[in-house]
Every structure is written in C-alpha cells, then in structure tokens.
Structure 1
Amino acid sequence: MATPDLMTFVAGSTPVLLNVPHAGTLLPGEVKSRLREDALELKDTDWHMDQLALPCADLGVSILAADYSRYVVDLNRSAEDMPLYSGPTTGLVSQIDFDGCPLYLEGQEPDTDDTEARIQSYWAPYHQALNAEIQRIKAQFGICVLVDLHSIRSQVPRLFDGVLPDFNLGTNSGASTAARFESCAEKFLQSASYSFVKNGRFKGGYITRHYGRPSQNVHALQLEIAQATYMREYAPWDLVDNKANKLKIAIKGLVSALLHELDTTA
C-alpha cells in the first residue's frame, strides 16, 4: 500500500517492523522555493535506505518509509522539539543542516505557523501510521520489534569527532528494548565484518525512545549506518553496487537474527 506523497508502506506477516524516516527526497513547492540552492542537494538525507530495507519484505517484515525530506519536518524529533542530545544537533523544522549552514534564503525561514502546519500535514500522519502498524502487529503477535533504520555521512565534524563506526546500534542505553533483542542485534552486527559501536554518539532518536516500551512488549532499536559503507558521500549520492549489495545482505541478516530470536522466545 502506498500513501501518495507521504509514505510508502509494505504490510508484513511477522512481528518485525522496519521504519525508514529520513530517506525521503520530496519537497512541497512552498518549501522548495524558500531553500538555498545548496540546500536543494538534500545532503543530510539517509540516502537509499528505503531501497536497502525493501529486500527484507521477503522475510515477511512490515516496512514503513517516509517519502518527504527531513528538511520539511524531522520525523525523528518530538512535536515539541525537545532536544535529544546535549551537543550540536538539528531540530524538528530545522533552519540549519548538519554542518550548521543555513537552509533557507534570508527572510524565508519558517516561523511558528509554518512549523505547526508541517506537524499537522506531515509529522502527525506519519506517526499515526507508524503507531497503527505497531499496534496491529502487537495485537496479532503479542509483541512488536521496531528497527529504525538511518544513515549519515561518515564524517560530520559538527556532530561527532573523527570517522563514525560503520554500524551504530542505539537502544537508549538499553531502555528501549529487552536485553535479549539488544544482545541478538549486537552479536550479529559484531560478526558482520563492519566496525561497530553500541549506544555511542547515536543512542536512538525520538522514534526509538518514544515507541520502545519493553514492558508493553514493544521493543525498539535504532541502526545508524555510515554512508561510506554503501555509497559515495557527495552529490549525486550514488550507490556503490558491491558495497550496497553487501549491506543489503547484512541488514537482511540482522532482521533474520531478530526473527529467529522471536521464534526461540515465543
């Protein structure tokens, strides 16, 4: 099922849901016309992560992916725009990119009314769909495992020092999932011939922290992937086929491991 211009949804037949909130590249005209020329490159997009997630549909998982750019509204921030980290970041309707450069033409920055309109038109419908699928899965299986997939340039000095590890698993320091799912993901990712860290710079954003409720049988894990593992980190942001194919296998392997863990603990 596809919801035009908002999100793409694939209904699954297992307790696992893959969510991809930042791979969208669509811009409504009223936003696009106000962005600076360099902002139109959309360099902070989680490029191709929806494509990399789609093969997991073969395993019977549900997949939800945003079609609109994070420059419209950031689906991984709360509607109240509460900061998630103590260091530099970007906001719900950000006026700067990851590097701290302005996104909008002078005098065209979004105001409070713009922000509220984007929440109502884009943020709220997406979260309604996400919550509805979590609840459907939980009602059918008694449990839901949400995997929130992200990617980012491997070097963003404003956000973190040095080069980011390939795989960055976030569980809100263990609060968003039961230990068995965290351990399952950690063991697989550590064995997948990529560099790995758990709850480092990326501990999980709003989606992981808000929806991950282990006591209610909803378990959420965030996977932030360094883009150097599968693509060129500059415009036109092309996939590198051999790297991308390897990463598809790794993502599918992670999902398979979680499904196996669900089977063994059912």
Structure 2
Amino acid sequence: MNPKVPFVFNSPHSGRFYPIDFIESSRLDQKEIRSSEDAFVDHLYRSAVEFGAPFITAHFPRVYLDVNREPFELDPKMFEGRLPSYVNTRSLRVAGGLGTIARIVNENKEIYRHRLSVEEGLKRIEDLYRPYHMAIRSTLARVRELFGVAVLIDCHSMPSTTQSRGAPIHSDFILGDRFGTSCNPAITNAAADLLTDLGFSVGRNLPYAGGFITEHYGRPEKNIHALQIEINRALYMDEKAHVPSEQFPLVRRVLTRFIGQLTSIDLGHTGSQPLAAE
C-alpha cells in the first residue's frame, strides 16, 4: 500500500495457522499450544489500514517461530546435530525456553515430543523470519523516506494475571519504549494520554518494556521510533475458552478511535517534537 501516515503497525504474535507436521510433533493439545498467541490482536488493530498505515502481521504462530527474538536464539538441547557457531545459545530467553524457536509454552509445558533437526530450525528462520523482518525494514524505510520520520507500533496482548504468581495485572494497557530509548517520550506520552482519555488505565515498561523488535528498530536519533503496546486480554476475550468476549466489538471500535487519533499526531519533519493530535 501507499502509506498516508508516518505510522507502521505490526502484529508479530497473532498468527494462528499451525503446520500439520508441527501439530503432529507436539505433545500439547490445541488449547495448550495456542496459549502463547496474542489472540485476535490483528483483528483489534486492523483498522490501521483505513487510516493509511501499513499493517504487518504474522500468519504463523509464535510457538512455531518467534520473530520478536534475535534471528538465531536457539537452545542446543532442542536439536539433533550441531548448531552453527554464530547461534546465540546463551541468552536469557534461550535459558527460559523462549528462544526464536520456543521449547516451552506457558507454565513450562514442553512443546515437542522429540528433538528437531538443525536443518528444520534453520529452514524456519530462512523461510519465515528473514522475509518478515525484511518487510518491517523496507516498510519503515519507505515511510521515513516519505515523511522524514517513521513510528512502529508493535501490537501485543498480555494475560490478565502474572504467570508466576497468578496476581492480576491491573493495567488495561502497558506501553513499552525500552525506558525511553526506542521512542521519543513525547510519542509515548501522547499514546498514554489518548488511551487514558478513552477510559483505560495505562502502565509503562513494567513488566513489558518491549522485545527484540522494539529494541532493534527503535532509533529515535535516526527518526525511527518503536513503541510496544500490550493490551490486557481480559478486556476483549475469554482467556480460558480462547474466544472473543461480548466486549470485543466495543474494544475494537474504541481502538479504532485511538488509532485514528494517534496517526493524526503531527510529528513534524524531524520526529523530535510531536504536536497535538489534529
């Protein structure tokens, strides 16, 4: 599409098309294997295209390949054979079982019945990860070329309770800008103010400050900003049944209003001083 606004929306974790061979290799049932999805987030934000913003979405699920990781964060214990020397096997995310190809889903449930071949792992990265990030890079470059500035809105969802202790998450939204390093704080402030004015409670950076995509693409000094937005799943879905709730249409309408207001913010020519929404 031809961008009409200096914003790019991205939903990397809402994919729900599971390869048959992957399902057959997993020890999890359908409910368990889908528990890590940012369920229906692509539907919540799809009105972005109506306002002229490109919207990039992953159709494959994060449990199959997580594009919000470095390209080669892989756990050697998951694979038959030796991984290439350039693979990052020591990251905290790999240690936690949540690398580029995850070993577990929520509550430390092992995904696979058996080890994967190294070739299978590298093929997923080559066929899916590389094209996805090429799409992000090229779209941001095109938007910045057109407007002098680009803002990536990375769209995610969060469970309504913390996984470790089951404590409720009190915020409706959490904005992550890597503690002010991936996005001009004025843009983060504008997004927070708009959501607050729409009646939502908004937190910042804790417990979600933004993942690899936010950190990697957010370069305010180069007029490319990246802001992660987490929405509380309790607002719009039945988390146990994994279906949209009765509130889903209302939340989507309110988010459409938010997207329209956010994308109308005047970022100026340099992206350094966002102005009020039009």
Q: Please indicate, yes or no, whether the TM-score normalized by the shorter chain is above 0.5.
A: yes
Q: Do 1:99 and 1:156's aligned partners in 2 also have CA atoms closer than 8 Å?
A: no
Deviations 1:82-113 (A, max 9, x none): 647799572210110021111112xx233533
Amino acid at match of 1:207: I
Distance 1:262 1:217, change over 3 A: same
Where does residue 250 of structure 1 map in the other structure? 254
Amino acid at match of 1:103: I
Q: Do 1:21 and 1:65's aligned partners in 2 also have CA atoms closer than 8 Å?
A: yes
| Structure 2 unaligned residues grouped into runs of 5+ | 74-87, 269-273
Question: Which of the residues 158, 161, 168 maps onto 1:163?
Answer: 168
How many residue pairs match? The answer is 252
User: 1:117: how far off?
Assistant: 1.5
> Secondary structure in 1 aligned to 2:8?
strand
Q: Pairwise mapping of residues 1-266 of structure 1 onto structure 2 (< 5 A)?
A: 12-38=3-29, 41-81=33-73, 83=91, 90-105=98-113, 108-158=114-164, 162-164=167-169, 165-235=171-241, 237-241=242-246, 243-262=247-266, 265=274
Amino acid at match of 2:115: E
> Secondary structure in 2 aligned to 1:220?
strand
Q: TM-score, normalized by length of structure 1?
A: 0.86
User: 1:114: how far off?
Assistant: 2.7
Amino acid at match of 1:121: D
User: 1:221: how far off?
Assistant: 0.4
| Structure 1 unaligned residues grouped into runs of 5+ | 1-9
| Deviating 4+ runs (over 3 angstroms) | 82-89, 263-266
Q: Do 1:95 and 1:110's aligned partners in 2 also have CA atoms closer than 8 Å?
A: no
Q: TM-score, normalized by length of structure 2?
A: 0.83
> Within 1, Cα distance between the matches of 2:13 and 2:187?
24
Amino acid at match of 2:168: V
> Within 2, Cα distance between the matches of 1:251 and 1:220?
19
> Secondary structure in 2 aligned to 1:228?
helix
Deviations 1:168-189 (A, max 9, x none): 1100001011121011012122
Distance 1:263 1:206, change over 3 A: closer
RMSD over aligned CA atoms reads: 2.3
